[in-house]
Amino acid sequence: MNKRYKTALITGAASGIGYSILKKLSNYKFKIYALDKNKIKLKKICNETGAYPINLDIANTDALYSKLSKLNIDILVSNAGIANGIEGLLKASKNDILESTKVNYESILHIIKILVPKMVKKRNGHIFLIGSIAGLYPTDSAIYSSQKTAIHKIAQSLRIELSGSRVKLTEISPGRTKTSFGNNVFSTSKMKKNFMSGFQVLDPDDISNALLFALNTKWKTNVSLIEISPTEQSPGGIPIIPVKDPIL
């Protein structure tokens, strides 16, 4: 494992992809901060892995600055996100738009603003932004897709800002992955079931393995974008909303 890094922060660490990344990194000698809004799950995974818990909702901007400003992080994994309004902009509520924008876009900017200047100052660090193929290709979910596209543009533009700093930045854009995502965002049992059917989806470990690959590259090498999808899923105009026969 890369010996340049000593500390890590993972957002959305208590389940799914974040938890898989936490488990992988806990096998090494990192001091890891696990951030999640689910206090019960967070306590459990920190007891399991030895990570330091940070219990907060990243939509709370003041809490972000209060709890993160004193940290000195080498590896930032921005993973937390929600999918309010994923069934379409025209069906979404005002709160769906406000809440998802706060979490999926604004909070990422704030977390980067809080932690990354210290990386630049010490000329050492690696930022991971977990996005989605929904940010790289059109989908039928304007809210979710546009927010994931924002992550993609943050990654591309921040790479320019970081030029010469030796701070790395990797965007990981997964396709459909076996997490609690579908259960949390769709309004009917049928839609939840269909989301994970039709083809073999990725596991969270597929994403965490990709992260480890990028993390282990030499200092002169930056893996800027990893697009990873199920073999049977071909992105490009893919529906987020499950249909009877998913487009593969």
Give domain limits for the chain. Answer: 7-228
Element of type H or E holding 240: none
Read off the pLDDT of each residue in 209-230 and give the average, rounded to a whole number.
Answer: 96
CATH among 3.60.10.10, 3.40.630.10, 2.60.120.580, 3.40.50.720 for 7-228: 3.40.50.720
Q: pLDDT confidence of 246, banded at 50, 70, 90? A: very low
- The C-alpha atoms of residue 67 and residue 135 are separated, in whole angstroms, by 29
Q: Are 13 and 51 in contact (CB under 8 A)?
A: yes
> pTM of the entire structure?
0.89
Encoded tokens for 167: 């701070």
Q: How far is CA 174 from CA 39, 40, 133, 233, 240, in A?
A: 26, 27, 6, 11, 13
Which residues have C-beta within 8 Å of that of residue 109, sequence separation ≥ 6?
Answer: 154
Q: How far is 119 from 108, CA to CA, in rounded Å?
A: 16
Residue 207 is predicted with a pLDDT of 96
Q: What is the mean pLDDT of residues 108-112?
A: 98
What does the pLDDT look like over 65-80, one tens digit per residue? 999 999 999 999 999 9
Q: How far apart are CA 110 and CA 205, in angstroms?
A: 27
Least-confidence region, from 30-44, 117-131, 155-169, 228-242: 228-242
